[in-house]
Structure 1
Amino acid sequence: MMNMAGSSEYLDMDTKELFRLYSDTRDVDIRNILIERHLYLARILAKKYINKGVDYEDIYQVASLALIYAIDRYDPGKGFEFSSFATPTIIGEIKRYFRDKVWTMRVPRRIQELSKKISNARVILEQEKKSNPTAKDIAEYLGCREEDVLEAMEASYSYQPVSLDASGGDDSDDKDLSLSDRVGVEEDNFRNIEQRDFIEKFMEKLNELEVKILKDRFFLNKTQSAIAAELDISQMTVSRLEKKVVEKLRKEYEKNI
């Protein structure tokens, strides 16, 4: 935990002003305050990868380090909101951790890379088709053979070894989910009920447009430009709305800790 004794002068400062000051001074006390103010981002994004065969604490550590990396690289002079800059940085580091550290069998690099492309393609195709894409759909989108897609999907089981008597216990249409994704659904729900309850109650306080921004940006990983095109508004408007939602979320989170 950071020592607040030498940094009390900064505690009441606006976050944007702190970023500008940190950019000029690289003061460690300011950096620590910025980290604490934005740790909620690391928590929320790390929660998305629970029940993937890796302990939440390990994912949270990766997300926290990525947050610090984002704070150090952030340039407030470029006009981007920090949350918009940090979110892809954190998600990217988490995905890189899974890709580079979690594969437990000797899966060829080309399969690992194709698996990543498949995951990205699935998100895009789901948004376009409003339904789960088939292996054939994904193969056509990526310009590869359907057999290669199926091979990569099967290889996704290599993320983490599981017991042979582990039960899938899921009737979803997501055929490429690993067994570790499907085991312990009830336990996962109990473990995440507090977080889910917080998010659901928070969304009740938002208007319809703000709820869409929150879901699209942080749960569906849509870009601001994609949301702007879908809503027929400017990207700047989406950016302002996102900033507003993130600030509301931060204040609501601080009230509940």
Structure 2
Amino acid sequence: MDKEAYYNMDRPLSKAKRKELFAEYAETDDKTLRDILIEEHLYIAEILAKKYTGKGIDYDDIFQVASMGLIFAVERYDPSKGFEFSSFATPTIIGEIKKYFRDKGWTIRVPRRVQELSKKINDAKLTLAQQNQKTPTISDIAEFLDISTAEVLEVMEASKVYAPESLDMNFDSGSEDRDLSRGDKIGVEEEYFRKVEMNDFIQRAMENFNDVEKTILIDRYQYRKTQVSIAEKLGISQMTVSRIEKKLLEKMRKEMEKSGEMG
């Protein structure tokens, strides 16, 4: 398939068509097919990148990393193994994002003074804890390092946001088997994997919808358009749009219950 043919098709592509393209790409290694598959699944990178915003790195940078993870996933995916692509791509993308946070860490708008003082504070914590057999207070650390408590608090707060270990720092899980990392506590894999799977479910359900139904669903829930604007676009009444939307949602709810995806 060339890109011109792709852009003339109804999108998003059906699940069957995407599987067909993956199988063809696995045989031919056609770069055009690769680009099409990346574009079709870019929503996965977008969903996962949004989870990591507000942690010291701009969304655009995270999205770029997530997109690179998606490219790796498309190139490495083997459709013959029977796994859904979203199941394969999600941990791959999350791994790239976490690696980026580890690598960037302190390089993001953090003064060298804060970096150096953070190390001294961490060393002081260990030394004081060993000496006194208890966790040191902020005042203890400040006195030990001959700095103000405000400086200690400033650096400790900065460390929470920017330290490279912020996503992988281990916590005692209460189990002998393993500790929990901060990334585990966030639970992004489970929460956002469900959203990716839901997106796939919606795309499968839409394969049975007509053009009007697809337009209403996409415009309402992807582009957040009002029923009035959709009615004007389709040349029908707002009441008709409302009726069709309710019918579609009820149909999808029943399909979700039937397939067990609501649980």
TM range (shorter): 0.3 to 0.5
The TM-score with structure 2 as length reference comes to 0.46
Structure with the greater alpha carbon radius of gyration: 2
